[in-house]
Structure 1
């Protein structure tokens, strides 16, 4: 009898230990899930523009949406005006996860991915509203998907406005007005090709060198959107603005794939929803700013030529579109859809 009691006690002890271990494992697993889903985190966002630029205020709006949708678990830390390095530096940091999000210029990203040159096809959009509509197009979505090969998650396109020409001396009504002129561009294969075919001398340089270069005559003019023109104050050193609308100017909003993949599906969805909400708001803000920025420039004493005849640039337009359509089926499809939507 005594032996049976000892055996019974021994068996019950073993069962108790097993149950306790299971409880610890279950508790541990449950705790890890709660930790992953309840994690608080501050995401780093980097870009090249000033704090009052529409891309930066859209990043701020993303922060608001992110805080709301995550119940305060997620927040952002914005690093504007290239404070974390050049765009090449930023992409490298995105690949490693040192930066979480980048609002990268489509110009720089088009040097890494051919299909993104689609946004720079000449005279494809007569207004920013027309460009914004193409954000939801199938070719635009394919461009974002292609970014995964670079360790990036393409989230959306946000816009600064259409591109125009600011000159120190005279307007840009036709290619002959630009022939031989040194025009600052932001480096991009499509932009380079366009300005070479126009007959100008395209000169790539970072934003922080443009003001002094205009002031001292190193360059004769710039290819620029109105928001950057106002926020960077280039109107102080050049007074002739031609509203050419020759291209639009998106930022490609990307996230580090390493960081994205580390999140739960639920948190990934929070990221995507917060960004879409922010960009939906941001594109409307960009459209509103097109008008207010133009008025601000007029108030600052800029001479503005508001309408030109795009047919004067038709030969160049056709050459550039044909050149880049051959490089990418996505570009060809993008042009066809944009033209069909007019």
Structure 2
């Protein structure tokens, strides 16, 4: 009897072959010139997205700082599979670096859910400022045990609510609505507490799901809304700023540790410049993209009274600050930066 080969097995075989090919190319390149290196970088977004453009900027800075010794080869739009596949390649050193969504990485490291605490950052500027704190750096350091070094956080903007046929002014407007979310326990908890029906699905399926009514709307940042053109199938956007949405720019620890101290410093500086550029660009895009969406016919409103959402906010924050000390320290620091002193779960 013939045995059916599973999809996961086929993907594993493909990744293994690809890994061998990439490793072989790296060895050949090193043998030709030990001072030159091509950095292979992957991410899941389209080339118009800010995360791709951050990768391009990193390549430019890397080449400049290394005086042409270092170059990059980019693999956007999930060309190398999904983020779990990237982690396999990063751990072995077959993939040099990647931009990974905080949504995926928070399923591997609980403390990264700190970024998803609802209504913590009213503006993207405040979220970006938070990355300079010790509490934010502590989150990056948790990645060391996963075979990658965190170079920094790159933002796509704050999250808002897009629905097919209505705006959201209170949780009552979400009652029974099927809302696409990232596959994250903290997001699941938040949306369920609001009364919605959170539905996790890959981005590649969202456009059709909106078009056919499989979902009623989604939790989305403005950049992805514009680049993926979801507004063509759902045109009621409520500006909520209910969550922020960073990605983690990471490099394989195996690759990084093989570099000289001088070259490590070059990588660090190139990443620092690229991240700073991308985050400034994100701030500018928030206003520009919103105008473009309105020009494209999207109906837009903004929540003025957040009090109906505070119960969901406190439920999620109290749950996660009790579970994780790094999350507790993070949210208290975020409150402090806004001039608020709020202590969670004191004595637990």
Query: Shared topology, TM-score over 0.5?
Result: yes
CA distance in 2, matches of 1:308, 1:334: 26
Question: What is the aligned partner in structure 1 of residue 186 from structure 2?
Answer: 190
SS of corresponding position for 2:131: helix
SS of corresponding position for 1:164: strand
Question: What is the aligned partner in structure 2 of residue 296 from structure 1?
Answer: 292
CA distance in 2, matches of 1:37, 1:291: 46
Greater fraction helix:
1
Q: 1:92 to 1:35 in 2, by over 3 A?
A: closer
Q: 1:182 to 1:246 in 2, by over 3 A?
A: same
Contact 1:37 1:267 in 2 (8 A): no
RMSD: 1.4
Q: Which runs of 5+ in 2 are unaligned?
A: 1-29, 339-348
Question: What is the aligned partner in structure 2 of residue 86 from structure 1?
Answer: 82
Q: 1:277 to 1:36 in 2, by over 3 A?
A: farther
CA distance in 1, matches of 2:86, 2:34: 28
TM-score, reference length from structure 2? 0.87
Question: What is the aligned partner in structure 1 of residue 172 from structure 2?
Answer: 176
Question: What is the aligned partner in structure 2 of residue 97 from structure 1?
Answer: 93
Contact 1:38 1:73 in 2 (8 A): no
Matches within 5 A, 1:153-172: 153-172=149-168
1:54 to 50, 54, 65: 50
CA distance in 2, matches of 1:89, 1:147: 16
Contact 1:95 1:151 in 2 (8 A): yes
Question: What is the aligned partner in structure 2 of residue 283 from structure 1?
Answer: 279
CA distance in 2, matches of 1:256, 1:309: 44
CA distance in 2, matches of 1:192, 1:266: 44
CA distance in 1, matches of 2:226, 2:259: 38
Q: Aligned-pair distance for 1:128?
A: 0.4
CA distance in 1, matches of 2:259, 2:201: 37
Q: Which runs of 5+ in 1 are unaligned?
A: 1-33
Q: 1:262 to 1:301 in 2, by over 3 A?
A: same
Structure 1 residues 150-159 or 308-317, which shifts more?
Answer: 308-317
SS of corresponding position for 1:59: helix
Contact 2:168 2:303 in 1 (8 A): no
1:322 to 302, 318, 323: 318
Question: What is the aligned partner in structure 1 of residue 6 from structure 2?
Answer: none
CA distance in 1, matches of 2:324, 2:269: 30
Question: What is the aligned partner in structure 2 of residue 23 from structure 1?
Answer: none
SS of corresponding position for 1:187: coil
Question: What is the aligned partner in structure 1 of residue 64 from structure 2?
Answer: 68
Matches within 5 A, 1:252-291: 252-291=248-287
Question: What is the aligned partner in structure 1 of residue 114 from structure 2?
Answer: 118
TM-score, reference length from structure 1? 0.88
CA distance in 2, matches of 1:337, 1:36: 49
Structure of greater Rg: 1
Question: What is the aligned partner in structure 1 of residue 303 from structure 2?
Answer: 307
Contact 1:243 1:308 in 2 (8 A): no
